[in-house]
Structure 1
């Protein structure tokens, strides 16, 4: 059952604060009992700005969100991508905040920030220590009211390149990256606000100019089209005063009318296709559905779950489990103006998509006879309740929810309505929406096939967008005027931070069972959930003595997610869904992990399922055959992805032949092919032991309560497991450039580095993380500012040390424009060499100390963060005061120490440089660099050598 709905709302029109401010309290919502509600106060300023305040003193942090009700749906034909482009420009300075200063100020305050754009809104947000609230509001207000005079042609051009790089990285250079763009283009009529994607078209980005940008700002970025939501360790009266000060004098912009829903209309099936650099043919069917918040939305969500989500779905039963396709799924996605019911199937190589379409249609039709069961609704409602509760685990989650509800529903408390819609779904509703939107209805049917395999499409293309007529949209850009606020204070002065609240690490308890299992936990009662993380040491490294079976840790973990002695995997999944719980087994380089989440009220039943999963796996042959085939296909698919090729080749070069870290954790085609079901059974029997395991518990439960529920773990038989010792990586005699050809790659992937050292909390490893912060560890680092902000070569560039208990690499990396490949290598190496030679500046040192030192307030907020902190203590055998020791090191470290670390741990002449890109586009420029070039294939094997020129 979902929690009882109840709330207390006070509606008023009283004036708050100074008489001339005219800030009105609209409503106040408080929590009663155990109801699911986010308490808040909502205000309206005289200029139309909406303010929402959520008070929560559980952690010394505050989250500020400014949401503008404008996204790509407000763009004009021929100017797609503008809303997202503008989001980038909002970080490039304003009258009182210099270029790149927004990121720097927030980082310097110990905070984090970003912005996002979708079809319907753009939001900007910061999470900062609560004493930095005024700084966050000052920054947001300055760009709302004082942006345009700081916009320059140079900034415009650099950010245009950055957005184009983002498109290259996330769309053009990513397998299946154009699926959504082509679906939208062909689903909606020409000119419809959803007929293009948020990223936009390159030709449109090339077409726009600075004046277009300024007009977009003037039309949509007024306070009357914005909601400021502040949540966390704050007092509402203080927030109101500050928001009035910084936002109250900004003049209102032109009035903004809500757009009306515009669901797509199709007369017949539209077949479209394109060829991509992929291994698996893909079919995507998209049916028009209504907008978000529509009365049919929840029923369509249930329908999608029954047809194509999880192991109890029709698609899983008919298609995936029988190995007729790699995957098949369904979902109902909604936006402000329309929705889309999407069905996707990933076929095995060389399979014709006409067969895939036939399979999908037969499975969809099966729903008519299968119908909807009580269990279907129970699973959906329990999972929905759990998802809603888990969204409230952080202040940022609660603030984002309030902001979204206000923007699209004019009701921050829409969570109550959402619950009512979920609770109210009936079997009849689900059957009705199936008949109304899916059965016999036309859809857009997109085939994505490997290059040169056009014959695999479902049907020949039969639709072309008609651009001779366009959906009529209002012209919004007449008579726009830039009027700045007139203030009685000096906005150029950055606010002084308030008194910082002392940050304390979570109190925790520890225990050790007789069989060797170590336990660590902490009580956290902000939401009624329990999170558990069981870690079994070893993972991929257990194959070090037998590389011929590499990938077995991954395959064994996958098998534990399947049938048990008493449950089929479908029945097991159903039981979890009815509880709103999850149990997931996975494997990494150094460990196997089991993640458990549960509502507290359902913990006993969830733990009973955990016991079943851990100790009674069935290890069925048909499950093994299916998962092994999927793992082999996944390995083969890596050869289509430049990022995977770059990382895999880089690891092979770093660690050398016969080192376990030179082999991907999922294994190779040869190693996985050799693995048998008996191998998996033996791996499980030999290596899953409490003697090398630890359990982290975070949630609304006491130590006594939880330890009383773990008898099944006390019975876990112990066995001796030996974790292989690390093998020293080969030395690098001199820096060379290794090149892998990826024809037609839109971008090049770059990896630069060497094998450095293992993790330690208070030695050189920790100190090098402080050293690297200025080089490549933050947005305002030298590497990122150079390659992204100054040159426009990339969407993002970074560097860092990656050690665990074992030595890990120092790596500098980026995906860069193809035409800037050689130049990017030059800039990377220039920054590394410069930092090695001359070290850090005093300003960078202070910035690093401020940023890292004040970020502690954000480290222990969510159950996941607490679990990560506690897990680290057990994994590395740390004392609770290690955090204090790190703080002491941070406060005392000098420029001389940082410079010495840079000189020691940045051996620029002894690194590998790996580049994956289109040879015909990039090789000529690479050959002009002063490096020996060794050409490799996608597996890291030599294919030739190119001499230096």
Structure 2
């Protein structure tokens, strides 16, 4: 079941009606198809749908609650539209669409959006590609100019050189996200076994490297000509804009683009299997994984909703049968059931990570899963099963209003695939109508006794752990090259006005910092809050300062373990019963321990906040601390720590922290602890930690939502009565003085890439001092896509999928860090290039143009800073944690406005001296050590034991 992100008509829970009567004058060549307005009942998103003469569909959703706009351009083309042997084209074009067009220079799209204070990206899946930007409201015309130019004039700027650079980038992305990740090939192997070789879902969206190597720039151009016309696109805009003005701009910038070839709606292609297919993959993993996949239906099929409910009953959290029969008895570390549905086909997926402590054999795990089916048949569907699903849909719908981007995405998705943007109430209705008989019916129709794909992922050399010997080897279908596809002749887009002129920005929007109130409870707990009426929701964070810093070093992970135990059973109520109560309320409560804090987060619908707070009170003050819960969670944490050792990024972070903080400081160890330290933690340790540190002495509360201050304070009465002794956060030990002239190499023989980390200690967080000013200084170097590091290492050299740098500041400590995942064959060149860029920037500082960009970006980005309750919560928590002055925002703005290149150059020289930088490299030592010796630093091995 996919999440449903929607909005509410106005500020109440209302439904919508539609009308075809025009309510405003339309530009020539623009037709109004429908207007959806608010009614009195139900949930929906108001919008208007238009169509241009060239076939472009336009959906507009005005929302003036925040001074921003979100623009989404979705093309109905994903990897499913690709031809055999040419996989990855849709994703490849997602990259090419950011490389400039006829009237937009190379990288100028990123430059303009960044300088405008916006953010942007694109994404590709099997069925669609979309490009999206969120910008201050006065930048809308500029974004429409950018999007229209790459729709109508992209091929004028596509060159062989750009093609080769982006091909390298895509291959680096695949290496980083797929080949070098534990379980990264899971989806790819499953799809190859589930679908026939010529089925559009049988190949990966990112493509095969062999296919990427085989194509040329002309293949890519032909793909664009076939699928990227306006008649295969939907432009959706949400936010603070004038409809008449927006339509005028859309007609001006998109209206002249000729329609592309006719595009028909693809027909669903669900599949069936005649027998079970067993596939085994030996991978760089610690925990064996089994995935069982049954083919089912397709998106919005009449059985989809019932299959979603079935997936939730079997494996949807702590109330599920998988949790009760696999996770809780410790047969599996994790077990989940889902029903991802796409345009052509859906898959019913059951997967579980085996717990080696109780047995790694996946055949045993498969047998237990099949026993769960028998339990389900005997148990049937209970009333709460249906009630939980219906409440989840309603809650997701209401929370969806919090982001304009979420509403726009939902409108665009539904229009592209179903021709009806607003399907919110329809979704609510179809899930509400699901019965117990429906759920049992789909179980018998698609799961019980049906053929499936069984994928076993096991550690290298452990094929005997597979569920069964492999009996199926996918065979890739090869393209028929006897007949070349007919050449497409694109109709050039006429130029009827000067497209080289960048549209001016409108009047800058007025950005209002969220107002807030403060209160101190009787026992000293400080509360800060903001009243928001945009959605009937409430978010709360209760923070206890100390967190992992309170761990004894030999019991690192104790704070995390205690927080996990607080998520378990309470006195008089099992974990499952507690989870059921929360799901029926549509609420969420979670305890965690990270960095400097233990945090308790709560989210709820306003109507259910009091019963949710009552459950929080019981969780906070009445934990059961059951031995069986402790043993299960301890095993899970131990297995997770061992699995993390397979991740190059984790190893790099461990190496960095060891060099910065040394072996004698808690800071050098992960928040979750080490294998050695976790083994020494007992349930009594947890109980003592709870008694000592779960007190109000260093507690603070932040609340954002549809609750007035008086109501909040009254609802927190149970916290006012909380008593407990104060405690001391231990001081740090002496930090080491590592050899900053060395290069530290962590050997990872199975690495497919090389991880680079260059770092040093830096300033702690502040709002206007060295830390904030260092953030400004770093922006041109590595703080955005067009920064120097990313442009050189990714766009110019093709060494990496991405390179960045930044300052990370906490309450008392901070650091600078630059990082990249690079190709193994260029590890030394990439590191040398990164260091040269640091030296050059430290010596010369930013240019005047770069400072202009950062000033514009930081200033205008304020319009995006406070849109959602979460962003407001983050803002208030920062004020509370760091005791910021009421006018810190104005102080920051003055610094931004007056900073000079000379000031930032001086700061760069102080903060970015290469002699003060430490370097950690993670990779296959045998393959890269000789290379690295050319960098000019002695290469020293850095060995991380399980205790570190």
Instruction: Provide TM-score, normalisation by structure 1.
Output: 0.97
Q: What is the aligned partner in structure 1 of residue 596 from structure 2?
A: 590
> Structure 1: which 5+ residue stretches go unaligned?
943-949
Q: Which of 277, 293, 297 lines up with 1:270 in the alignment? A: 277
Question: In the alignment, does 2:357 pair up with 1:351?
Answer: no
Residue 614 of structure 1: aligned partner:
620
Q: 1:484 aligns with which of 487, 492, 513?
A: 492
Residues 941/155 of structure 1: CA separation in 2 closer, same or farther (3 Å cut): farther
Question: Quick one: structure 1 residues 466 and 675, their matched pair in 2 at CA, closer, same or farther if it must change by over 3 Å?
Answer: closer
Show the counterpart of 1:77. 84
RMSD, matched Cα? 1.8
Partner of 2:435: 426
Q: Is the 8 A contact 1:29 1:41 kept in 2?
A: yes
- State which of 848, 852, 875 in structure 1 corresponds to 2:881: 875
Write the distance in 2 (CA, Å) between the matches of 1:391 and 1:480: 42
| Structure 2 CA distance for partners of 1:578 and 1:683, relative to 1, 3 Å | same
- Which residue is equivalent to 1:782? 788
Cross-structure match for 2:213: 206
Secondary structure in 2 matching 1:927: helix
Question: Which residue, out of 803, 807, 813, partners 1:801?
Answer: 807
Residue aligning to 2:339: 332
Looking at structure 1, the residues matched to 945 and 775 of structure 2 have their Cα atoms a distance apart, in angstroms, of 31
- Equivalent in 348, 373, 376 of residue 385 of structure 2: 376
Figure out how many residues of one structure are paired with residues of the other and give that number: 936
Pick aligned residue for 1:517 from 525, 540, 548 = 525
User: Partner of 1:429: helix, strand, or coil?
Assistant: helix
Rounded Cα–Cα distance in structure 2 between residues aligned with 1:499 and 1:589: 41
Query: Where does residue 413 of structure 1 map in the other structure?
Result: 422
* Aligned counterpart, 1:342: 349
Pair 1:250 & 2:288 matched: no
Counterparts of 1:879 and 1:10, CA distance in 2: 51
Give 3-state SS (helix, strand or coil) of 1:447's partner.
strand
Stretch moving more, 479-488 or 107-116:
479-488
Q: Which residue of 2 aligns with 1:296?
A: 303
User: Which residue matches 2:68?
Assistant: 61
* 8 Å CA contact retained: 2:541, 2:599: yes
Structure 2 distance, partners of 1:4, 1:293, is 24
Corresponding position of 1:224? 231
Which stretch of the first structure deviates more once superposed, 552-561 or 520-529? Answer: 520-529
Counterpart-to-counterpart distance in 2, 1:747 and 1:941: 25
8 Å contact 1:311–1:569 — kept in the other structure?
A: yes
**Matched residue SS, 2:935:** coil
State whether structure 2 residue 681 is matched by structure 1 residue 675: yes
Describe the shift of the 1:86–1:697 C-alpha distance in structure 2 as closer, same or farther (beyond 3 A).
Answer: same
| Contact 2:414–2:422 (CA under 8 A) maintained in structure 1 | yes
Which stretches in structure 2 are left out of the alignment for 5+ residues? 1-7
The answer on whether the counterparts of 1:853 and 1:887 sit within 8 Å (CA) in structure 2 is yes
Distance 2:401 2:221 in 1: 37
For residues 632-671 of structure 1, the C-alpha deviation after alignment (integer angstroms, 9 at most, x for no partner) is: 1111222211111111111111111211111111112221
Name 1:495's counterpart in structure 2: 503
Distance (whole Å) between structure 1 residues aligned to residue 946 and residue 182 of structure 2: 21
Aligned residues of 1:285 and 1:444 also touching (Cα < 8 A)? yes
Q: Which residue of 1 aligns with 2:163?
A: 156
> In 2, Cα distance between the equivalents of 1:494 and 1:360?
60
Alignment of 1:770-849 (within 5 A): 770-849=776-855
Quick one: distance in 2 between partners of 1:939 and 1:784?
A: 33
**Quick one: distance in 2 between partners of 1:476 and 1:142?**
30
Q: Which residue of 1 aligns with 2:288?
A: 281
Q: Which region of structure 1 is more displaced relative to structure 2, 458-467 or 616-625? A: 458-467
Give distance in 1, aligned partners of 2:317 and 2:562: 20
Deviation, 1:728, is 5.5
The reply to whether residue 47 of structure 1 matches residue 54 of structure 2 is yes
Q: Secondary structure at the match of 1:334?
A: coil
Counterpart residue number, 2:513: 505
Distance in 1, Cα, partners of 2:790 & 2:720? 50
Structure-1 separation of matches of 2:96 and 2:19? 39
Once the two structures are overlaid, the 10-residue window that deviates more, 866-875 or 902-911, is 902-911
Q: CA deviation at 1:4?
A: 7.5
Q: In the aligned structure 2, how far is the partner of 1:84 from the partner of 1:119?
A: 9
Residue of structure 2 aligned with 1:305, choices 303, 308, 312 = 312
Following TM superposition, by how much is the alpha carbon of 1:479 offset from its aligned partner in structure 2, in angstroms? Answer: 4.3
Whether the 8 Å contact between 2:14 and 2:38 is mirrored in structure 1 is no
Q: Give, in whole Å, the separation in 1 of the partners of 2:416 and 2:392.
A: 25
> 2:93 aligns to what?
86
Q: Give the distance between the partners of 2:460 and 2:502, measured in 1 at CA.
A: 55
What SS does the corresponding residue of 1:527 show, helix, strand or coil? coil
Deviation at 1:691, TM superposition (A): 2.2
| Secondary structure in structure 2 of the residue aligned to 1:633 | helix
Per-residue deviation, 1:504: 1.0
Q: Which SS does the other structure have where 1:128 is aligned?
A: strand
Q: Does 1:167 align with 2:174?
A: yes
Distance 1:768 1:809 in 2: 11
Contact 2:74 2:129 survives alignment (8 Å):
yes
Name the counterpart of 1:360.
369
In the alignment, the residues of structure 2 paired with residue 129 and residue 195 of structure 1 have an alpha-carbon distance, to the nearest angstrom, of 41
Task: Label 1:733 to 1:741 Cα distance change in 2 as closer, same or farther (>3 A).
Answer: closer
The 8 Å contact of residues 639 and 938 in structure 1, kept in 2 or not, is answered as: no
TM-score (norm 2): 0.97
Task: Confirm whether residue 11 of structure 1 aligns to residue 17 of structure 2.
Answer: no
Q: Among residues 648, 654, 661, which one is paired with 1:655 in the alignment? A: 661
Alpha-carbon offset, residue 698 of structure 1: 0.8
Deviation at 1:228, TM superposition (A): 0.3
Change (3 A) 1:703 1:873: same
Q: Give deviations 1:880-905, integer Å, cap 9, x for gaps.
A: 21111101111011111101110111
Q: CA deviation at 1:941?
A: 10
In the aligned structure 2, how far is the partner of 1:687 from the partner of 1:441?
53
Which whole-Å CA distance do the structure 1 matches of 2:254 and 2:727 have between them?
62
Aligned to 2:471: 462
TM-aligned CA deviation for residue 14 of structure 1: 8.7
Alpha carbons of structure 1 residues 581 and 416: separation in structure 2 relative to 1, 3 Å: same
- C-alpha change, 1:427 and 1:9, in structure 2 (3 Å) is same
Output aligned runs, 1:901-920, within 5 Å.
Answer: 901-920=907-926
1:693 Cα offset (Å): 1.3
The aligned residue for residue 5 of structure 2 is none
Q: Deviations over 1:467-499 (max 9, x none)?
A: 5799x99x9953412223224320000000000
On the 8 A contact 2:103/2:500 being kept in 1, the answer is yes
Are the equivalent residues in 1 in contact too, given 2:85–2:478 (CA < 8 A)?
no
Secondary structure of the corresponding residue to residue 255 of structure 1:
coil
Structure 1 residue 940, shift from structure 2 partner: 9.3
Q: Secondary structure at the match of 2:636?
A: helix
- Report if aligned partners of 1:60, 1:129 keep a CA contact under 8 Å in 2: yes
Alpha-carbon contact 2:676-2:946 (below 8 Å) kept: no
Distance 1:82 1:629, change over 3 A: same
Q: CA–CA distance in 1 between the matches of 2:586 and 2:296?
A: 27
Task: Report how far residue 466 of structure 1 moved.
Answer: 4.9
1:452 maps to what in 2?
461
Counterpart in 2 of 1:190? 197
Residues 308 and 338, structure 2, Cα contact 8 Å, conserved in 1 = yes
Q: Which residue of 2 aligns with 1:945?
A: none
In structure 2, how many angstroms separate the alpha carbons of the residues matched to 1:4 and 1:499?
33
**1:236 aligned to 218, 243, 264, which one?**
243
Deviation at 1:852, TM superposition (A): 1.0
Please say if 1:627 is aligned against 2:636.
no
Change (3 A) 1:202 1:469: closer
Contact 1:732-1:911 within 8 A present in 2 as well: no
> What does residue 532 of structure 1 align with?
540
Report the secondary structure of 2:560's partner residue: helix
Separation in 2, partners of 1:143, 1:794: 25
1:23 matched to 2:30? The reply is: yes
